[in-house]
Chain A
Amino acid sequence: MIETFFAASSALLVPQTFLSMLGGIAAGLVGGAIPGITITMTIILVLPFTFGMDPLQGLATMIGVYVGGESGGLVSAALLGIPGTPSAVATTFDAFPMARKGEPGRAVWLGIWASLLGGLLAGIPLVIGAIQLATFALRFGPWEYFSLFVLTLAVVAGLAEQSLVKGLISGVFGLLVTTIGSDPVMGVPRLEFGVEMLRTGFPFLPVLIGLFAFSQLMKDVESLDPEGRGQLLGGRVDLRVRHLAVIGEILRQPANLIRSTLIGLWIGILPAVGGSAANILAWDQAKKASRYPERFGTGIPDGIIASESSNNANIGGSLITMMAFGIPGDAVTAVMLGALIIHGIQPGPLFATTHTKIAYGMFVAYFLAHFLTVAVEWVGLRLFLRVILVPQRILIPVILVLCAIGAFALNNIVANVWTFWVFGLVGYGMIKAGFPLAPLVLGVVLGDQLEVNLIRALMTDADPWLFVTRPISGLLLVGAVASVGWALYQRRRAPAVAAEAEADF
């Protein structure tokens, strides 16, 4: 294990990989800091840059974006009062009041150091958990995989805020998208209506980019200010701070730090629920456990520490689910799964056990990215502050162009750009009609694997009861039914606040 770590570290420390990772962190920091540009969108923008890289270099760059993005979100949360990403919403509650009280440096750096500590703490279970879970998952047969994917879809559909039925429709619609084109078992064309573009099916990444980026950007257009330009606390800000004092403040709250980290880690492990739920839950729990809950939201360090340590720990959790089962822990890992497939690597438990160098390289990249993020912020924070004030009317078309490049470059065909456009329309329409996008995306991600495992199971043994009678498979299906039942019960109990967690897509 130690040798693999060293081999992975040396692969990461070659100048080319190291520099691309630094670039990823800088992109993540900027993207995360710009309100309206989520980490998912940033990673989508970086994706075409990774096409020509080797798998580890590409994944390390994306991990850099992910870690940098989580930290970047706090900058605008603290200084603009607008969370740069959904995972920094709770950071705004205390960081912005603290900054307005004349301590912007303390607000920002409390967040940065808490992000580092939360992320590093979550790295330990990432290294141990991902490999252990992947080894356990190797015992799974097609029945267990099928049931696991059904459970995942049920959990995510259950998080739909407005209607469970809409959540389920969205998920099944995602599965339907994957049935168009050649079937994954025998390659027989299906539901392509003689249209050449549909013959090979919808490629996964343009669909994903359309649903995530295009529809989100169009939501931003609805609330666009044509003159829009942000204001940093009304002018110049002084970010100087005594770092040892700030780190000391965090370390004097070990319970808050560890609790928030564990919350972030757990939320990250849950499929499709990410930092947006983790930071609010951690802030809320920190408030409930505090001896002075009435001071939360007035600019105290406790709230910043809770929110920021949890959203970085969430990355570790999401990576565990992705590496052990091939299931995205959130939207960012969904894109990373797509990148793995582009590089010819099939995600799933075999990934962590057969591509050990890449898997351990991802662990090392995760730790390295946390340290590098602090270093990049130390040097370039002031520059990022300038970038986040670029008006959205300029950013939106530029981002759309970069998304178009990402879609086109996949196989150098304009049809992929049309797919991006069509699914942008679909995503926007679904948002407007109150359908959640998370189950749809998950359906698209898991569709082929769900079918392959269903067919493989039935070809091995035609008895469908095996899905229920095999212990692990049966338990997973019971979990799926229980998840739907729980969602129904919650809606009956409190329809207005049906979903506690929000899916992170």
Chain B
Amino acid sequence: MRRADALIGLGVVTLSGVLLWQTGRIPTPPFIPISPAFYPRIILAVLALLAAALVGEAWLAGPPGPAPAPPPRAARRWLVALCFLLFGLYTAALPWLGYRLSTALFVAATQWSLGARTLRTVPGCLAVGLGTALATYVVFERYLHVLLPRGSIVP
């Protein structure tokens, strides 16, 4: 049995069930022959069936073979998590610190995390961060008239 697939399948079946129940709360305006819940119900029913099939497929797949050798750079997965976290912080900071400061800090921090992570590399990372923030700000705001996020603390 492929446990991961079975668990994902069960999760999707549960999600579909919850959302199917939620479709009961979708209001149907009068004089509309087909409810707005009609299509989501079809989609959710099909999704639940497919997820059940995935559970079945995982069940029938038999016992897992010997564990494969870990990929050579599996340790880098934590870097992926860090990148997601830094970007989440960046997005959260945009309404407070504004585009320029948030971007400079995000680019510098991410670049430092993905690089050699020594004190010696900090100035270079900060320079790239500042350069990116200012260059993109000038190009988008000044020349392309694309508005960038303003901050409530730092404009």
Contacts and interface: CB of A to CB of B under 8 A. Distances in A.
A402 B146 CA distance: 12
Given A52-B145, A226-B114, A397-B106, A186 B36 contact: yes
Contacts of A393: 111, 114-115
Contacts of B62: none
B128 interface: yes
Contacts of A163: 5, 54, 57
A185 B39 CA distance: 11
A255 interface: no
B84 A168 contact: no
Nearest to B108: A397
A49 B50 CA distance: 40
Contact of A222 (B23, B44, B73, B128): B73
Contacts of A414: 91, 94-95, 149
Interface residues of A, number: 61
Given A191-B40, A414-B149, 17 more contacts: A172-B47, A173-B12, A176-B47, A186-B36, A188-B27, A221-B76, A393-B111, A401-B103, A414-B94, A414-B95, A417-B94, A424-B84, A428-B80, A433-B5, A433-B8, A455-B38, A455-B39
Q: How large is the interface on B (under 10, 10 to 19, 20 to 34, 35 or more residues)?
A: 35 or more
Interface in A243-276: none
Given A165-B50, A175-B43, A425-B84, A222 B77 contact: yes
A405 B36 contact: no
A504 B47 CA distance: 23
A226 B106 CA distance: 18
B67 interface: no
Question: Is the contact region of chain B dominated by helix, strand, or loop, or is it mixed?
Answer: helix
Question: Is the contact region of chain A dominated by helix, strand, or loop, or is it mixed?
Answer: helix
B148 A185 contact: no
Nearest to B150: A412
Contacts of B149: 408, 414
Interface in A412-455: 412, 414, 417-418, 421, 424-425, 428, 433-434, 451, 454-455
A226 B115 contact: yes
- 8 smallest beta-carbon distances between A and B, as pairs: A397-B110, A393-B114, A183-B36, A188-B36, A179-B40, A397-B107, A393-B115, A451-B39
A14 interface: no
Interface in B83-113: 83-84, 87-88, 90-91, 94-95, 103, 106-107, 110-111
A214 B83 CA distance: 10
Given A165-B57, A401-B136, A223 B36 contact: no
Interface of B: 4-5, 8, 12, 19, 22-23, 26-29, 32-34, 36-40, 43-44, 46-47, 50-51, 53-54, 57, 71, 73, 76-77, 79-80, 83-84, 87-88, 90-91, 94-95, 103, 106-107, 110-111, 114-117, 128-129, 132, 136, 140, 144-149
Given A165-B54, A169-B47, A188-B26, A417 B91 contact: yes
Interface in A137-196: 163, 165-166, 168-169, 172-173, 175-176, 179, 183, 185-186, 188-191, 193
A220 to B, nearest CB: 10
B97 to A, nearest CB: 12
Contacts of B94: 408, 414, 417
17 contacts: A166-B5, A176-B47, A185-B34, A185-B36, A188-B29, A222-B73, A396-B111, A397-B106, A398-B128, A400-B87, A401-B103, A401-B132, A404-B87, A405-B140, A421-B87, A433-B5, A462-B33
B80 A169 contact: no
